[in-house]
Each structure stands twice: as C-alpha cells, then as structure tokens.
Structure 1
C-alpha cells in the first residue's frame, strides 16, 4: 500500500486542495482556508482558476502556490527540512479588503483515524498508532479550537460572522487556528511527525526557528531537478511541476498516481479514477522529469485496470467502470521508453504478461469485419459502464470523443465495433507489437520476441495496403463500405510505427506543413482545415491536442526528418511556453488558429499537456532506439540541460560552440561536431557513440578515459582520448579503457 519512500511521506497528496500538505502514512494534513467578511464566504481553496501553482519538487521539499479569495491574494510556501518536518508560510500579496476582516484558517488533523485531545493544562496531543504530531506557530492565533471536521470554523463564520464563538468538539480529529491579516500578514508555522510528543514538539520548534538562508538552501536543493537553459527553458521545469502538483493519493485503492487533473476527481468520479492512457503519459513525463518512483507508480496503477476479458480498461472510478472498452494501445511503448531511460528490468518483468495479453485482446475483439485491420468498439457482456455498446463508447475507446472523423461512422452491435477501420488504433498497435518484442528480448524471451515481430510485420503490410488513400496521398480512417473520411493528425501515426515507404513518408510530411491543411498557429488541428468542423473549436473538433503532436513528432524522428521534427517541436513549445509563462497554465488542448488554451473545453492544468514541453526536451536528448542515448541540436542553438536522470548516471548536457556531456559531475565527452549524436554509452570500461557527418574536419574527446583500444567505423586507430575525424562521413566510435 502506497509504495513510496519516506522522502515523499509529506507531500501535496490530497485531492481536496493543492494547499494541503499531508503526511501520507497517517493521513494527517495541514490545510489552509480563508473567510472574507465583504463576501461573507469561506473557502478551503479547492483547485480553481483562483489558484496558481508554481515550483513543486517531486519529493515535496519545496512547494509554492498563490490563491485568491475575493480580491485578497495569499502566497503559500512549504519547505521540508527533513522527511518528517514541514515548515510553512502564508504571506499576503494583495489585500482585497481591510486585513482585520480577512481571516485565514490553518487546520491540522486526520482525514481517517487519529486522535486529537486537549490536556487540562491546555496542551494538545495528536496521535495515530506510534506517530505523534506537533504544531509550532510563530505568532499566536486570535483563536483556536478542536473540531471533528476541517470545515467547522469556516461554516461558523459564514453563519455568524468572524466573531462567531468556537467550541471544542467532544471527539475531535482536527485542530484549527484562526488569524486575521491585520495582525499577522505573514503566518509562519511548522509541523513535525515523531514517535514521541517531546520529539515532535522539538522538531516543530526547530523547523520554525530556521532562518531565511536555511529555507533558501532547502529551496535550492529542491531545485536540483531537471532544468533547461535556452529558448523555451521553462519546458523542463514544467515537466516537474505539472507532474508533481497532479500526483495524488488514491486512498480507496491504496496507491499513488498522477491524476489527469485536480478538477475532476470529486466533481466527476467520486474521489478516485484512473483513465488509462493519461496515466501512462504521466509515467513517461515523470520519468523524464527525474521522478522514477512516480513513473513506476503510474505504470503499476495502469496495469491495475486489467480485467478478466484481457484488456486494460478505459476507465476505472468510484462512480463508473468502462471495462467494455480500452484506450489507444500505447501501453508497451510507454513501458519501453521508461525501460530505455531507467533500465528497470524488474518492472518490465512484472508488467509484461499483462501487456502481452492486452495486445492480443485487440486482435481477438476489434476486427469487426474480419479483414485483419481493426476498429474501435465496445464489447458485449463486459460490465455496465456508461454508454456501453454504443457509438459513444467506441469513440471513448479512441480517446477522441467527438472527433469529426467519427461523424459518419455507426456502431455495429453484432460486430462490437464501429464500421470504420482506424489509423491511430492500427498504427499504435503495430508500434505496440514492436515495443513488446523489444521488451521480450530484454527479458531473454527470444521466442516471444520473434513471434511478435513476425506478426507485427504482417500487420504493418495490411495497414499500408488498406488505409493508404492514394488520391490524397495520406493515410486515413476508412469505412467498411464508403471509403475514407477526413484526415486528422492520426493520419501521420503510421510514421511512428515504421509503416510507409520512404516515398509515402515524404508525401505525409508535405501534408503536415501545408498551411491549408495542418500547419496552423498551434499545429496540428484535430481535423484538417478542409473539413468545416475545424472551425467548431469544441474539444476534439478542431483544437490542437498534445498527444496528436507527440506521436507525429516521434514519427518524423523515426524517418529521419530531423529538421521537420524540430519545426513541430519548436512551434509546440512556443504555444506551451506562452501559456505557462503568462498564465502558469498547462492546457488540455489549444485553439489551433490562435494558440489560446483558455476555453470551457480545456482544463488549465492537465497532465498530458506536459507532452508539449517533453517534445522540446527530447529535441535535445532522448533514448536511442538501438541502445544508449542520443543528444545534440539540429538547429545549432545553445542550450544547457541539467540534472537529467538516466541509467548511465545524472547527466548534464551543454550545447553551443561545442557539445559536452557530464555524468555524475564528471565531464566524459566533448566535441565541436554539430548535429545529433546517437548510440551514446559510457560504462565502466567501454564508451561508444556515433558522430554525424560534418562539412569540415572535427574532433571528439573523452577527458575522463585512458583508452587502451579505439575503433572508428570498425577499424582500429591509435588509442587516444582525443580523436580527429574527417569531413563528410559519420563516425561510429568505440573506446575500451
């Protein structure tokens, strides 16, 4: 249950409010509320447009947000001096009314079991099992009380005003402290967990006594996560912050996962939910932000959507379970990318049987017309989830719920599918087959790998033959009877699976960058511009969606369209960075013609929005499909990436006049060559990489190595740490030292 380390025990786990800091093993939290006399309203600061989320270390060592209530703006900061102790501060940034009449409330207590009691001398004890908790306050509150729920003080003020009498509850679980901003515009507090009352008090008092320079040092250490300097440098920090703020505790199922958004949990799904593909995207983003533990938690949580029929269910939640359908098959690919970065073979071994069974399920249940090219659908005799056995359920499985691509499709009950073969489904399933074959090889299962590879190769040929629209020169969804429908960015998904010939790939690229089709201010519209629905600007009807850009980008990279991939990553990062820097928003989708994210149909802090900044990070460093890492800059621009966690070690990459790689603080590679280096390995006695062809003679060096043997393009050369390379030819370098 809650497979996390002690470094994460204190964190923003609660879905009720991002302003709450919770000690997860005891479900004890400190939360912030506020009462405004001018409005007569109290808020416990649930996530809303009035809250802006800023820095958030993955382990909760430093977090910062601002929250507005009726014109008053508060800043809340948390610092963790150690895994057991939190220092907090509420600061007034703007007054919407006289501070005497604006009353913040700090509440500390247990969401589950736990005991809060007041002794005859007035001291308060807070305990659960062997845990003891203490609170230290810099300034005396105007009042305090013990309550049986955290909203008691707020309700009393809404009923009777801010002088309302407060009484201790007979069986309290919370302790509330009431302030006003006239007397305490800054509220400093600390909370400590220990195994004894004296130790808890001492820990809280010590944290409260920390000077600002000590707090600044904690903040600096917390900032030693993935960082990027250069154009769109905010992208790296955004990966960390979006993942950290959306990572929550699912108490119903005893697990930690990165939710889609804080908005939906209680309002739509009853306190917990897991939408399959989103949480897998979050695993990828968390891994690249350096938080491998959360990435692992997300993958494991996603595998818990496995159901007896064999598929991974589309949605599991308190209110509804959609087990009759799945979601686009990205499962094996995400696990493969996680493995390439981490070399965590134990996780691969754990999840591979579930992934393999889910892969086979598609071929068994989604070939409605029996021609070997698949459709989305909804299975019979599988639960009672909303919309089961309807066209809407099949569109939910596609994860493009109201896309115009499906307007003309119909659900065929006897087949259990739409009457439309889907480019995204088939392409991603081919990519899935490739990914699972690679994972099987990593596990030493050569027979399964060969079988998957052979099946996938035959499947690709069927896709290429059936879903290529020669008249328009691209792939598209195809009706069983009536031909092709309007293209969307999924028309480019065959690239990521390696399906088209080089000639067909070039024709696809022309469509991507055609300003009358897909190359808009915020590319790529979810339906091409020749379809009038592109102007609807309603959810999947015309807006730009991060997953569509992400897989198109990966496809361009696979086919060697490096400059074109850079153009897409650059414009996607530009759209993202503007909203992030101006609004501190990471939108679910964006208006394709304006790049504006704000919309009734776009959540403002949505997990898969982080795929856009991830593309910009991957534009400079990525795992190599053939092993190792690739890095470099196609554009030649200067950039520095720090604190990238890889299986080779903590990596720092500098690009400019020369490329430099540091691992764990030691410079291991430098070169004046430009472009994309690939296949980079640096191990205890062996190093390798491939240098792209250069227009002029170039050099590479391995400053930390004393080579005894060196090969360039398979030929031995005199061993040296610095090598000169001739112009005009790529060089594969191998060193033994």
Structure 2
C-alpha cells in the first residue's frame, strides 16, 4: 500500500501556524505550530487526582461552543465527578494564548514542549523560550519576550468573542441554531498531522484517533467523507472549504483513483475507491460562494478539476461490470490478502454492510460485484454533468463537450437498463439480467442524474417515500423498512446524511418541492433533537424513536461533520445556489440565515411575513411569501432573475434602488440594469 508520506499535500487552511485546537487527542487545550508546544486543562477529581486526559462524548465532554476557523476563539465545557469546567480559548495565528478557565472545582493544567513529548504539570514545567502566567481564572502562554500578562485575558477573550460573533454563520426560526451545530462539527475537527506537516479536517477526530476510541493512530481521510465535509464547510468559510475539498486529491494513484481511505499508520487503500461525489460537492461550494461567476472562488475549480476529471475517467476504465454498467469493486493488491474480495468491494460503495449486497458475489474477472449498481451509475452521470459545468467555466470547451456526450450516452443506457417495469422504479441489475428487489435511497439517485421524465420522477418519488418503504416521520433509512435485512443498525437501516443529501437533491432537480420540503423538515428535527439534547452532530441517526446512539457499540460517532448535511438540506428550502442561479423561496414557516460567506460579502435570508434577501444589510430582494425566486444572478451591471407564483417583489438594482415587480402565476424573467430599467 502507498504510504501517506509518498505525496505532497497542498497548503492547508487554516495555515499550520499559531495556536489552535490542533491536537487530535484533546478538546480541552491548544497546540502551537510550528513549535509543537501543547497546553491542556482539567480538574481535580473527588479523590484530588488531576483529570486532564480522556474527555470524549462518552467520558466527560459536555458541550462544544463556537470555534473560529483560525482558532482565535473557542469554547468547551467538560465535567469531572459532576463538577463542570468551562474553557474559553483565545489563540489564533499569533504566539500569545489567553485562556479563561472557570469552575467551582480546582483547575489544573499541563504543558508539553514538543509534539510527542510527555506532558508535565503546570507550573512545574517551563518550556524553553516560553513564559507561563496565571491570574485567578486567567492563563497566559507567550514567548519569553512578550509583554502580555494573564491579567489581559479577560479583555482579549471578550474582544475575540465579539469578533467571532460578528462573523459566525447564524440561523433562526425553523432552523433554530442548526448553523451553530453545522459549524462546530467542522471547525472542532480540524487537526494537525505531524507526519505530513499540514492541517487536515477529517470528518471526526474521535473516529480517527485511537486515544479517543477511534480506529487510527492520529489521522485519516476518507474520500466521500472529505468531500461532504468540504461541502458543509462552505457555509462557514470559502477558503476553509477549498482546503478541505482538495486535501485528499493528492493521494490519488497514478491511474487517477481517489482512495477510499488514507491514514498515518495504515496507508492508502490501493484496491478501492469510494462514491464519486467530488465534482458535485466542489461545484456546489463554488456556486454557493457568490452571486455570479465573477465573484466565486475560481481557484477552487482550478485546483481540483484535473484530479476530479482523472477520477471520473478511472471509473469506466476499472469498474465496468455486468451489462457494461458500473459496479463496485476491489482490485488485487500484492501483499494485501483482503483485497479483491466481496467485503472490500462493499466498502468501496461506502455502505459497508448494506442489505443491498447480501446476495452479491465477487467477479474475479472484472474485479467487481456481479451486481450493477443504479446508485453508482447515477452518481457517475451526475459527476460528469458537474465536471462539464466546471470545464466550461475554466474554458476547457473540448473537455466539456466530451463529458456532455459521454454523460448523455451513459444516462440513456443506464435509465433503460435499471428501470424495472415489475417494480415501477429503478433497481440494481444482476448479472443474470434480473432486477434486484432491495430498495434504498440510492434508488432515488437516478433523479439526481436526470434519468426519468417528470411524470416518472414523481411516481418514483411517491412510491419510494411511502411510510412503509423510505418515508414516514424518520425518512430515508439506509434500506427500506420492509426489507428482510432491515435492522436499524449502521447501514442496515440507520438514517445517513450523505444518502439523504443525494436523494433530496434528486427530488429538487424535478421540482418535487412538497416531497423535498417534507423530508428536509423531518430530517432537520432529527438533527436538532440530537444537537439540543446531547450537543451531537451524528454519523448516522436512528430510524426508530427511543434508540440511544451514545454508546460506543452503537457505532454512531458524536461529532461527525457530514451530519451537518441535514442542516444544509433544510437551509436549501430557503436559499440554495444552483447552476442557473440562486433560488430563494419562503419555506412556509419563519426561518432565517445570516452571515453566509460570499465573494461579495455576507448574505442574509429571512422568511417571515415577507421573504427578504440582503447582502451586507443592503436589500437585494423583498418578496411576498407566495413568490419563488430562481435563477438569481447579480453582477455590477445587471440583475437577472426568474419570478414565479403570485405576489409583489422589490428587486435591488445594481445601482442600489429597489425596483417593484409583480407576478401572477407562470414565470416572469426579469433583467434590471444599473439605471433601474426592466427588460
């Protein structure tokens, strides 16, 4: 297997300098880069023993507060023997670290003078060239020559708090504090990888760290986990999202395969990949980063496109299975006896123990399952569409034309072969030509790829979202509730945000708003219930009420970034960036988003008695609740927008004035120039 040190990783975001919660082993301290100095805090327990290690969701971690990307502000609460410790950490790119440590118990701390050094109790240890100071609840760590004091901590902490509050993404109304949950599930998972040098953001620090009951020594990246983490991070910061989306691509092999996983001690999975969602997520983050291509993050496309294109082309070259369709696979690798097996093939799907693959076998001739997968083929078509859109924006017109032609042919072939008249929907296709009866949300992915006509799409959605199949109060379990293999455990029935995200985007492609809104609303309630009760953003969510996922054996990590996709989906019912422009719609209940990061400034969207969209507090749109705004694009010269529904709307012209427009059924396309002239 390839080792992680065989590749050069791009510069990470944030840059690996200054103070941040870099140390994967703890939430209760900060580490300084590049020096490696680490400071951690804890309490004396009831027996007067210091407790500094081991604060996890299962052992004393109570709540994670706001955390800026640059580490200039972070809050965390832990408890020891029923006594809480609240830490406010003010670090960031500079060399001074200020900490407020408040507790009714006795606060203790330790320091380590190198990344691998053993920690020593404070104040007994005084690392060379560093000064440690304490004044009551306030602590200071600074270079020996710094004039700062611990007494400055109170002022610094509150200044940093105000700055963090002014820029953090916010939500309200129907969304409650979902934006806070989404943000913290990303920023708290950014860590340092000592053997590589840069900063990485795995989907969960608990999952990748053996000292936190995880599965790797100190870091690991997984393919589709990384892309979905980057998608979520787009709500927080554009540069941060770009850094995450690009961090696994350098680990692709010579053929272009992006590996299922790469980690410090276990290397790269040279036998298998994971679902091709890279171009979809990159394009989404790009579109959401501005109101026009002129203000979006072109660098994101330039840095990721070559590797994403190579990965797209890898699939038909290496994963063509039954009937000339794509199938999940695993290649034989010398020295890896578990490669080229059915188990590894299932893992390429990302759905490790899904009942969909219970009857499948491994075909050694093709290195794939003997089951062509509708979800994989649909994702590959959608990937091709997204890559074509990216290629066009980069001026690679011949590549865009090639991708469009190949995608159209693949769509036509797959749509015919995966359609089962007997089942009235799409089904996976066995090598003997029969359609597999298992049903999962992956069978809604054909809508994401544009397989059916509008009437068929609606019929498929209504059948799939029946309460006994994939619908109900807890929609989109990972396999149908009436499947013999449904067990409400892991991929055999839990609700997974990546699956839900892809399925709902399929519903939205066909304008099935009543379905997408109902599903998004139900999933948001699951998301918020876990957040408000446990401060968790889950790896997966229970398909039945009353199931407690906090136990280790339940296999649902407590703060996993991709769980934030459930909030992201709900936000899309109010505001969503699409290839043809932004869509804004009143979701039927009061809801608010603020401080969304765009190239032009900070976007805000509020739905109450009116639908109001602002940019840095300047009104862009003020519409009656019955008006749906789509195709919105704003340049310095004109605003282009499509209006449907009924009601009045005021559109902000580039010159600043509000122009009144009315719509009464149908669709009205409007262009307003700098002088306020409507065309």
User: With structure 1 as the length reference, what TM-score do the two structures score?
Assistant: 0.83
Equivalent residue of 1:577, what SS? helix
Cα contact 2:70–2:92 (8 A) shared by 1: no
**C-alpha distance in 2, partners of 1:394/1:134?**
54
Tell me the residue number matched to 1:712.
Answer: none
- Aligned in 2, Cα 1:353/1:724: closer, same or farther, shift over 3 Å? closer
- Higher mean alpha-carbon deviation, 548-557 vs 599-608, is at 599-608
Tell me the residue number matched to 2:600.
Answer: 648
Q: Deviations over 1:358-377 (max 9, x none)?
A: 111110111123x3311000
**C-alpha distance in 2, partners of 1:730/1:76?**
53
Cα displacement (A) at 1:483: 3.0
Tell me the residue number matched to 1:244.
Answer: 187
Q: How many residues align?
A: 646
1:62 pairs with 2:73: yes
| Largest Rg, 1 or 2 | 1
Tell me the residue number matched to 1:432.
Answer: 383
- Aligned in 2, Cα 1:723/1:105: closer, same or farther, shift over 3 Å? closer
1:300 pairs with 2:246: yes
Cα contact 2:643–2:663 (8 A) shared by 1: no
Equivalences for 1:537-616 in 2 at 5 Å? 537-594=488-545, 596=547, 597-599=549-551, 600-616=554-570
**C-alpha distance in 2, partners of 1:271/1:726?**
57
Cα contact 1:588–1:608 (8 A) shared by 2: yes
Equivalent residue of 1:533, what SS? coil
Cα contact 2:16–2:33 (8 A) shared by 1: no
Q: Deviations over 1:606-629 (max 9, x none)?
A: 121111111112221111221x32
- Higher mean alpha-carbon deviation, 497-506 vs 668-677, is at 668-677
1:319 pairs with 2:265: yes
1:464 pairs with 2:415: yes
1:639 pairs with 2:591: yes
One of 284, 287, 294 as aligned partner of 1:337:
284
| Gap runs ≥5 in structure 2 | 1-9, 290-295, 675-679
**C-alpha distance in 1, partners of 2:187/2:396?**
36
Cα contact 1:19–1:65 (8 A) shared by 2: yes
1:728 pairs with 2:657: no
Equivalences for 1:651-670 in 2 at 5 Å? 651-670=603-622
Equivalent residue of 2:56, what SS? coil
**C-alpha distance in 1, partners of 2:131/2:648?**
63
**C-alpha distance in 1, partners of 2:557/2:164?**
27
1:192 pairs with 2:142: yes
Cα displacement (A) at 1:699: 3.4
Tell me the residue number matched to 2:161.
Answer: 219
**C-alpha distance in 2, partners of 1:647/1:386?**
49
Cα contact 1:246–1:258 (8 A) shared by 2: yes
Cα contact 1:658–1:670 (8 A) shared by 2: yes
**C-alpha distance in 2, partners of 1:699/1:538?**
48
Cα contact 1:311–1:358 (8 A) shared by 2: yes
| Gap runs ≥5 in structure 1 | 94-98, 140-186, 708-720
One of 430, 433, 436 as aligned partner of 1:479:
430
Q: Deviations over 1:647-669 (max 9, x none)?
A: 33211122222222221232233
Cα contact 2:325–2:414 (8 A) shared by 1: yes
Q: Which has the higher contact order (CA 8 A, sep 6+)?
A: 2
One of 629, 651, 661 as aligned partner of 2:582:
629
Cα displacement (A) at 1:564: 1.2
Cα displacement (A) at 1:513: 2.7
Q: Deviations over 1:102-121 (max 9, x none)?
A: 662332533169999x9xxx
Cα displacement (A) at 1:425: 0.7
Q: CA RMSD in A?
A: 2.6
Cα contact 1:634–1:676 (8 A) shared by 2: no
One of 524, 528, 537 as aligned partner of 2:476:
524
- Aligned in 2, Cα 1:281/1:123: closer, same or farther, shift over 3 Å? closer
**C-alpha distance in 2, partners of 1:595/1:692?**
42
**C-alpha distance in 1, partners of 2:26/2:34?**
18
**C-alpha distance in 2, partners of 1:237/1:420?**
41
